[in-house]
Amino acid sequence: MKAIIAATAVAATLACGTALAADDPVALTKEFKGDCLVCHAIDKKMAGPTWKAVANRYAGDASAQDKLTEKVIKGGKGNWDKETSGMVMPPHAAAPNKEQISKIVAAILALK
Ligand code: HEC
């Protein structure tokens, strides 16, 4: 009986955690051990643009999901020079991997 209660509690916790992480870019970044939060926050200006600003700029741009996933993988600058004084985003070739970066980008774009 105890084991059943424990298993149910664990399942409920897991289900909750997954639902939260899927649309929270900060939680996803932590889950995938990405370095993103060194330079980004949802709506606090750091070295990189806020993720809210990114979501707003690309709202309605159907190519944003692929374009931004590529950009995070390759790194680069140029799109936010005014906000970042020309700072470069470093490439992310291995970790988080492409699929994980794509999930973080989807959650960022859903912020608006
Ligand atoms: C060392 C600081 C730094 C880290 C770490 C970093 N970024 Fe960035 N990020 C930047 C800067 C600077 C820019 C602005 C680049 C530009 O002007 O085109 C940026 C831009 C972006 C953009 C918008 C790109 C565009 O072209 O509009 C996204 C999305 C993004 N970052 C996501 C991430 C994610 C996801 C991670 C973690 C995997 C991450 N960043 C890690 C500094 C960083």
* More confident position, 68 or 20: 68
Q: Which atom of ligand 1 is nearest to the CA of 68?
A: 29
DSSP 37: G
User: Is residue 15 helix, strand or coil?
Assistant: helix
**40 Cβ below 6 A of ligand 1:** yes
Superfamily of domain 2-109: Cytochrome c-like domain (1.10.760.10)
* pLDDT value, residue 43: 96
pLDDT tens readout for residues 69-104: 999 999 999 999 999 999 999 999 889 999 999 999
Mean pLDDT estimate for the chain: 88
The structural domains of the chain, with segments of one domain joined by +, span: 2-109
pLDDT at 5: 55
pTM (whole model) above 0.75: yes
* Closest atom of ligand 1 to CA, residue 92: 38
The pLDDT, as a whole number, for residue 95 is 92
Question: Does residue 91 sit in helix, strand or coil?
Answer: coil
Residue 44: band (very low, low, confident or very high) from pLDDT cuts 50, 70, 90:
very high
30 lines ligand 1 (CB under 6 A): no
User: What pLDDT, on a 0 to 100 scale, did the predictor assign at position 11?
Assistant: 53
Ligand 1 centroid–CA 10 distance in Å is 35
- Looking at residue 61, its amino acid is D
The Cα 33–Cα 111 span in angstroms is: 20
Helical (H) or strand (E) element with 88? none
Cα 15 to middle of ligand 1, angstroms: 30
